[in-house]
Structure formats: structure tokens, C-alpha cells
């Protein structure tokens, strides 16, 4: 650590750390912001394309087993005609195991962004979400040391910080 920073105290040190961590957070904030905006419209076809999927799975599956194997949201069998099982987005041949269906996915790069945004703990990529949460927590807490106590900006921190916390609580009450 630079000797000048050590001599200037905790305020200078925290401002330096806040600045450096803030630069790091810019890139991932853009990814989460863009994916969050797109995910707000996930019940529409905004930024989505249809993709044809053809693959072979196990043979002679029951409709329930087929739904489990395909893991499609809203899966519903519409008709069974001999060896062919038709469902809402495609069909399955129970003799050959060939399944043919259409999925809707986000266009590139939003498909990657949304997977990162919606990652779960069983997926290894979730660690980036955890790191991002820690970085944002650090930025929020370290902003307390941006200005010395008693200054106008330090008082504004409590005013606007309090308004932000109140707005978050109100939002949680409303949803």
C-alpha cells in the first residue's frame, strides 16, 4: 500500500478502495442491468427467437416421464396417435425416441446474460452472483467513509441513504 494513503487515514483508504472496486463493478453491473431489463419482459417475445430442437431420448416414455425428461415449462400433451405423442410445442416418437420441438430463447448475448442473472446454487456460475452481491454491499457500506463526519456530504449520505432504505422497504411491502 502507498505510504501516502496510510498517512491520510481511513477516509482516504476507503475512498481508494471504493473507487477501485467501483471500476470493477461497472462491467458486471452493465450485464445485470441489461439482463434485468430484458427479464422484466420475459412473458412477452421481446428479444426472443424460436429455436427448433431435434434430439433422441429414451424410448417408450409415458407422457409424465416425457415432460420430466424434456423439462419444458408449460408442457402439456395434446394428443397421442399410435407411436406419436404430440405436445404443445412439438412431438415425440415413442418407438425411436426422437423428439422434435420448438423452444423460445433470448437472442445472443441476452441468452447468456439471463442465464447468469437467473443462476442457481447448483450451477457453478452462481459464484459470480455472490461476488457481485458482496461487491455491491462493500460499495454501499464503504460510501459511509467517503466524507468525514460533520461535513455537508456526510449528512447527505444519511439523508439519501435513509430515503433509499425507506423506498426499498416500501417496495417490499407493496409486492
Instruction: Please report, to the nearest 10 degrees, the dihedral formed by the alpha carbons of residues 6, 11, 14, 16 taken in order.
Output: -70
Splitting the chain (175 residues) into consecutive groups of 10 residues, what average pLDDT does each group show? 61 86 88 88 89 91 88 88 90 92 90 85 86 90 81 86 92 91
Look at residue 6 in the predicted model and tell me its pLDDT. Answer: 54
Contact criterion met (CB below 8 Å) for 18 and 139? yes
Give the pLDDT confidence score for residue 2 in this predicted structure: 53
Would you say 28 and 132 are in contact if contact means Cβ atoms under 8 Å apart? yes
The predicted structure's pLDDT at residue 12:
85
**Is pTM, for the whole model, over 0.85?**
no
In angstroms, the Cα distances linking 28 to 62, 124, 132, 142, 170 are 43, 17, 7, 19, 27
Return the pLDDT at 117: 83
- Half-sphere exposure for 143 (CA within 13 Å, toward CB): 13
- Quote the pLDDT of residue 100: 93
Going edge to edge, which strands form the sheet with 84-87? 48-56, 98-106, 90-93, 84-87, 77-81
- pLDDT computed for residue 14 by the predictor: 85
Amino acid at each position: 500500500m502507498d505510504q501516502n494513503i496510510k498517512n491520510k487515514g481511513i477516509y482516504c483508504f476507503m475512498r481508494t478502495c471504493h473507487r477501485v472496486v467501483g471500476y470493477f463493478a461497472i462491467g458486471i453491473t452493465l450485464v445485470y442491468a441489461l439482463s434485468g431489463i430484458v427479464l422484466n419482459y420475459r412473458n412477452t417475445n421481446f428479444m426472443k427467437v424460436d429455436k427448433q430442437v431435434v434430439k433422441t431420448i429414451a424410448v417408450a416414455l409415458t407422457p409424465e416421464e416425457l415432460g420430466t425428461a424434456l423439462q419444458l415449462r408449460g408442457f402439456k400433451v395434446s394428443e397421442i396417435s399410435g407411436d406419436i405423442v404430440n405436445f404443445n410445442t412439438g412431438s415425440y416418437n415413442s418407438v425411436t425416441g426422437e423428439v422434435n420441438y420448438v423452444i423460445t430463447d433470448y437472442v445472443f448475448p441476452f441468452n447468456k446474460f439471463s442465464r447468469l442473472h437467473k443462476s442457481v446454487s447448483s450451477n457453478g456460475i452462481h459464484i459470480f452472483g455472490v461476488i457481485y452481491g458482496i461487491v455491491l454491499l462493500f460499495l454501499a457500506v464503504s460510501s459511509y467513509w467517503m466524507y468525514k463526519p460533520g461535513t455537508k456530504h456526510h449528512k447527505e449520505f444519511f439523508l439519501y441513504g435513509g430515503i433509499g432504505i425507506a423506498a426499498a422497504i416500501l417496495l417490499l411491502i407493496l409486492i
